[in-house]
């Protein structure tokens, strides 16, 4: 079974070597997978880092995608991949040695179209207690913290909701991704944040609607680097703001219009939460409401942005 691994990256050369190093230590045979590093407009030493691994990862290819946006980089990987089994990883992960072997094992079941595993945090520094509390196990023994893209659902292979397969460790059959029309816009440069969409969430919804099977495989796991600058409220506020944009995008696509009553309601909730600055959850929720209202207003006043949101597909 041959796998195509795509690593989108942008100006993160200092992290990229970590994921590439982990790919040299896979238990899966080196001749049974390729690695596509898709440079989404870097100005650092990304290409030099890739070149330094050319002798250690024989089927490593460096690709450049100048169109900004994570979806554009992912789609170039989709087009260039030699396999029908696509493995997407972020540039700040370090894969378990069994990562690719576990993915291949899970796809041995023809009914499985999407595979994920643990995304365990690799904290650069000890996180504050409030973040650790958010990362505590639930009553079923699992835990997740979406704002940091980390998840641990235990040590058993099991069927799961596709929403529990996060983008930093996301493996899918090419045929299904094409059926779904590819990814929706995801991470964008800050000056283009209004063009953000709901990323792989759209693909997860497509899988649910078509009754396809998603699987959690504990060997298909990664460590996700969590730098110090993410372990604070401003970062969680920023992630909540981005999620608000994504949810606004999803709503507009599903309803094909702006909801003025919902916009007014969210603005009212925003004003109410502003009087609760001493509650951390309220402060983070303010970020979500601001993101949602920001996007709704931008789309309302920009026909070109509305046309972008309503595009049938972002595959070019």
For the chain, the domain total comes to 2
Q: Check residue 278 and give its pLDDT.
A: 65
Q: Check residue 268 and give its pLDDT.
A: 81
Same-domain pairing of 237 and 190: no
Residue 315 domain-assigned (yes or no) = no
Structural tokens at position 238: 């920023």
Residue 214 domain-assigned (yes or no) = yes
Query: Residue 186 belongs to a domain with what CATH number?
Result: 3.90.550.10
Residue 316 domain-assigned (yes or no) = no
Query: Which range of residues forms the domain containing residue 22?
Result: 3-228
Q: Check residue 280 and give its pLDDT.
A: 79
Structural tokens at position 301: 């006043």
- pLDDT less than 50: residues of the chain: none
Same-domain pairing of 53 and 72: yes
Residue 285 domain-assigned (yes or no) = yes
* C-beta of residue 169 within 8 angstroms of C-beta of residue 116: yes
pTM equals 0.94
**Cα pseudo-dihedral 96, 97, 98, 104, rounded to 10:** 100
Same-domain pairing of 184 and 282: no
Same-domain pairing of 255 and 143: no
Same-domain pairing of 223 and 248: no
Q: Check residue 315 and give its pLDDT.
A: 94
* C-beta of residue 219 within 8 angstroms of C-beta of residue 96: yes
* C-beta of residue 195 within 8 angstroms of C-beta of residue 305: yes
Structural tokens at position 246: 């994504």
Question: Rg for the chain (alpha carbons), in Å?
Answer: 20
Q: Check residue 297 and give its pLDDT.
A: 94
Residue-averaged pLDDT of the chain: 95
Structural tokens at position 223: 């460590």
Q: Check residue 296 and give its pLDDT.
A: 95
Same-domain pairing of 180 and 274: no
How do residues 104-119 score in pLDDT, each as one tens digit?
A: 999 999 999 999 999 9
| DSSP codes, 41-53 | S--SSHHHHHHHT
Which domain-ending residue is among 194, 228, 262? 228
């Amino acid at each position: 079974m041959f796998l195509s691994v795509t690593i989108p990256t942008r100006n993160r050369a200092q992290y990229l070597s970590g994921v590439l190093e982990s790919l040299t230590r896979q238990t899966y045979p080196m001749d049974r997978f390729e690695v596509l590093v898709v440079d989404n407009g870097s100005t650092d030493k990304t290409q030099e880092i890739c070149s330094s691994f050319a002798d250690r990862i024989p089927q490593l290819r460096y690709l450049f995608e100048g169109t900004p946006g994570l979806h554009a980089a992912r789609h170039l990987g989709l087009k260039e991949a030699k396999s029908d089994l696509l493995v997407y990883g972020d540039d700040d992960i370090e894969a378990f040695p069994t990562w690719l072997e576990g993915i291949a094992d899970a796809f041995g079941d023809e009914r499985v179209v999407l595979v994920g595993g643990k995304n365990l945090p690799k904290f650069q520094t000890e996180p504050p207690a409030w973040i650790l509390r958010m990362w505590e196990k639930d009553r079923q023994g699992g835990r997740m913290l979406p704002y940091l893209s980390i998840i641990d659902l235990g040590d058993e292979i099991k069927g799961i909701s596709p929403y529990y397969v996060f983008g930093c460790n996301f493996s899918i059959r090419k045929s299904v991704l094409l059926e779904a029309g590819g990814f929706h816009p995801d991470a964008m440069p800050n000056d283009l944040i209004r063009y953000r969409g709901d990323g792989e969430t759209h693909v997860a919804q497509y899988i649910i609607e078509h009754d396809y099977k998603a699987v959690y495989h504990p060997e298909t796991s990664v460590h996700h680097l969590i730098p110090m600058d993410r372990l604070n409220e401003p970062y969680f506020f920023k992630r909540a703001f981005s999620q608000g944009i994504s949810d606004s995008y999803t709503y507009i696509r599903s309803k094909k219009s702006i909801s003025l009553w919902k916009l007014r309601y969210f603005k009212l909730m925003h004003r109410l939460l502003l009087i609760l600055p001493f509650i951390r959850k309220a402060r983070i929720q303010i970020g979500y409401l601001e993101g949602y209202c920001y996007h709704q207003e931008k789309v309302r006043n920009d026909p070109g942005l509305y046309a972008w949101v309503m595009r049938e597909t972002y595959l070019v």
